[in-house]
């Protein structure tokens, strides 16, 4: 099941080797540590770049995070879960 969220989130991230990588995010008062990045892609929205990350935490869900260079903001876009 895919749940559309589209909510702003606080994200801890590192820049390494010229790349941005999320390491944790805060959503609805809970901190999720990013255990694994499953995939990434980029989308150009006019003048702004959006970076998408499919990540896993300690829960079975897969979270899709988006970083937008328009305002330098992070959002949780979707949550993929079983059932």
State the pLDDT confidence band at 23, using cuts at 50, 70 and 90: very high
CA distance 70 to 82: 32
CB neighbours (10 Å) of residue 59?
Answer: 12
Please state, in angstroms and as integers, the Cα–Cα distance from residue 11 to each residue in 43, 47, 82, following that order: 19, 23, 24
The predicted structure's pLDDT at residue 67: 98
Q: Is pLDDT larger for residue 25 or for residue 83? A: 25
* Residue-level pLDDT at 50: 97
CB 65 within 8 A of CB 22: yes
Contact status, residue 74 vs residue 8, Cβ threshold 8 Å: yes
- What per-residue confidence (pLDDT) applies to 12? 98
Residue 83 has pLDDT above 80, yes or no: no
Residue spans per domain, the chain: 2-80
* pLDDT tens string 27-79: 999 999 999 999 999 999 999 999 999 999 999 999 999 999 999 999 999 99
């Amino acid at each position: 099941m895919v749940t559309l969220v589209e909510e702003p989130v606080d994200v801890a991230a590192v820049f390494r080797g010229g790349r941005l990588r999320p390491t944790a995010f805060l959503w609805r008062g809970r901190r999720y540590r990013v255990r694994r990045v499953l995939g990434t892609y980029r989308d150009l929205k006019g003048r702004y770049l959006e970076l998408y990350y499919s990540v896993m935490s300690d829960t079975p869900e897969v979270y899709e995070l988006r970083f937008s260079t328009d305002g330098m903001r992070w959002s949780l876009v979707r949550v993929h879960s079983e059932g």
